[in-house]
Each structure stands twice: as C-alpha cells, then as structure tokens.
Amino acid sequence: MNNIHPTNIIANSAKIGNNVTIGAYNVIEDDVVIGNNVTIGNFNTIGQYTEIGDECNIVHNSSIGVIPQDKKFGGEKTKLVIGKRTVIREFVTLNRGTSATGVTIIGDDVLIMTGVHVAHDCIVGDNAILVNLVALGGHVEIGDWTILGGVSNVHQFCKIGKHVMLAANSKVVQDVPPYILAGKQPLRYAGINALGLSRRGFSDKDKSVIKKAYRYYFRSELNPSISLKKIKEEFQNNEHIDEIINFIEKSDRGII
C-alpha cells in the first residue's frame, strides 16, 4: 500500500511501485518509473524519464533527472537511471543524459550527500559516496566503492577508478587510478587506500602487490611508459594489477 500526500502533482504516465511513500509538494513528471519500497520526502522534482530503483530514499528539496545544463541538448529523450537502495540527501541536482550516451547512471547503494551536483552522461558506480557539495562535470565516471571528499570538483570526461578515496576540496582535472588515496593541490598520489581495501576483503598480499606496483608508477624515477611495462612484466595474471593497467592504458586525460 502506498502513502502519497495529496499535495503532490503526479503525471498520469508515471509508474509507481508498491509500498512507496511520497511526502508533500513533490512534482513527478511524465514517464517516471519509481520502484518498490521507495521513500521520497518533500519539495522534490522528479524529471521526465527518470527511473528510480527499489528501496531508494530521496530526502527533501532536490532536482532529480531534469534536463542537462548543455547547450547542445535539443530536448531528446534521455534518462537518469538510479540503482537500488541509493540515498539522496537535500539540495541535490542530478541531470539526465544527452544524445552523446542517452543516460546518466547512478549505481546501487550509493550515498549522495547534501548539495551534490551530477551532470549529464555521468556514471557513478555501486557503493560510491559523494560527500557534501561535490560537483561532477559531464561524462565523468566514478568507480565502485569510491569516496569523493566534500567540495571536490571533477572536470568533465575525467575518470576515477574503483576504491579511490579523494581528499576534501580536491580539484580533479586528470584521471585517478584505482585503489589509491589522492589529495593536495595539484592532485597527487598519496598512497594506497589500505584501510578501505581491508574493509572490503583485500588480503595483505593484495595490498602489498598494489602498493609495489604504484611505487614503480608514482615513486620511482622511471617514466610512466617504462614503469607500466615493468608492472606488466612483474605482476602477470593478477586481477588487481590488470585493473590498474587497463585503467591507465584507457585514460584519455592522462593520470594525476
């Protein structure tokens, strides 16, 4: 049974699942899909074509899935897709995609804190945390389990790998490879995210191998191409090292 306050404006074409609670003064536009067991607070706008997964919690005063801030946008049908069990706090803006990709994606079990902005065509991985006032430019990709410190800004088209922890007030203008801590200005490598990796079941051996690989890449006097070649030769058939190599080789903006 749903609990929907009578002050809401809900389009006839919106599809609302079971056991959904919607507070006062929300606007839910055409072709929105809301899953089961979702809670929506007060004074939110849920834009056209937005899809919200089961058990999400959207608190108050947010703009979810409205049109992108992109001058090239021509009103085409694009989406914002939010995974299951994601929490969205107050004053968040999440834009839907453009024709470039067609969709902005927020994964499962994501925590999006107060004042965060996620622009068009972004991908935010599962279990990520975007702390207060983080801003993502268009086409940004955030890996699973990554934490972005408060008031951090990510330039459009940048990628941040899995299990990264980013310091508060970070300015990201190049790609941040997986498993690391990064901070300071300009943004730089500050070691591996050992505590986060331990909490997620990485063994001491896993962490040691990752740390040694990054010692070659960031701490040695070798240039990046030679250090990457050395990593490939020394750490063969290791899934975590393969993740690092693939990330670096696919980087378009360069590595911090």
Catalytic residue among 108, 109, 121, 144: 121
Is 121 catalytic? The answer is yes
117 assigned to active site: no
Judgement on whether residues 70 and 127 belong to the same structural domain of the protein: yes
Q: What is the CATH number of the domain that holds 84?
A: 2.160.10.10
Residues 15 and 83 in one domain: yes
Residue with the two structure tokens 């490879």: 177
Does residue 38 belong to any structural domain of this protein?
Answer: yes
Could you tell me how many helices (H) and strands (E) the chain has, helices first?
4, 28
Give the pLDDT confidence of 4-45 residue by residue, as tens digits: 999 999 999 999 999 999 999 999 999 999 999 999 999 999
Residue 69 gets which letter from DSSP? S
Q: In this structure, is residue 164 part of a structural domain?
A: no
138 flagged as catalytic: yes
Q: What is the pLDDT of residues 215-241, one digit of tens each?
A: 999 999 989 999 999 999 999 999 999
Active-site position among 53, 138, 143, 161: 138
Q: Which of these is catalytic: 120, 139, 163, 240?
A: 120
Range of the domain at 242: 197-249
Does residue 103 contact residue 96 with C-beta atoms inside 8 Å?
yes
Cis peptide before 6 (omega within 30 of 0): no
**Nearest CA to 124 among 110, 113, 135?**
110
